[in-house]
Structure 1
Amino acid sequence: MSETDQSEMQGMLTRWQTLKKQAEDGELRMDTDIGTALAAHATRMRDQLDTMVTNATRLAFLSGFGELESAKALQGKFAQKANNGEDSAVKRLKQSIDIVSLMKDTYELAIGKIAESDQSAADKLAGLRMGDS
């Protein structure tokens, strides 16, 4: 992964960590229907990424390169690119899974805070009505 790509991934991860913290603190709130739809989409994205990780892991077992030493070296490079290498597809996909998981958690926290806020307001109104009687 290029340094720019790594920086972008880290930036996205940091941004979603910040948004999750804001949701935990009640600073980020979201409509329940929208948040639920976004969380469901994030779940679908994670499922797709999990499938991609499985497929990329299988690419570590390449064949058909021949018996030449250069072919074996090339086979090893492709296998590392798929899995276990510093810049492997599996590593990048797992970073994406981390971000999508943060997104899902953030959406769920943001809609939870609205639900808590709505319940708190309803309880206060109920208390005021009880006092008026």
Structure 2
Amino acid sequence: MKTSERLLARLREIDLDLPEGTRLVRVYPSPAMRTEGSWTWTALGPGGRDLRIGSQHSMATLLGAEMLLAEPVRSGVVDTDIDVVPARPCRQCATATETACRICRGPFCQTCFTDHHHEGYGTPAEPDW
């Protein structure tokens, strides 16, 4: 099974609405565009219709990630793209997240982070000595 086919199956697992006949196509950005965060692949639907789903991360990187997160990215006045990024599971509820505690480096979602064991700007809630 090709890398693109395995990633397509994984994208369907995170409930992205991908019609039958969707294929993932490699995009070859220039080095300057690459540093600006341009996509390395995009999803094309039946008939070559652009589904506005892609990522600046390679397909292999996304396949190796613990979890995937599909983030809406505003690309214009009306259009919204979906950017697929690697994520880690939240320590408390296991949902996908990209944030981490600045003290313990643990991954947390926004909801669980508010109840996390640190308070203030980096001050532990309880002394650790």
TM-score normalised by L of structure 2: 0.23
Q: Which has the higher strand share?
A: 2
Q: Which has the higher helix share?
A: 1
Which one has more relative contact order, counting CA pairs under 8 Å at least 6 apart?
1
TM-score normalised by L of structure 1: 0.23
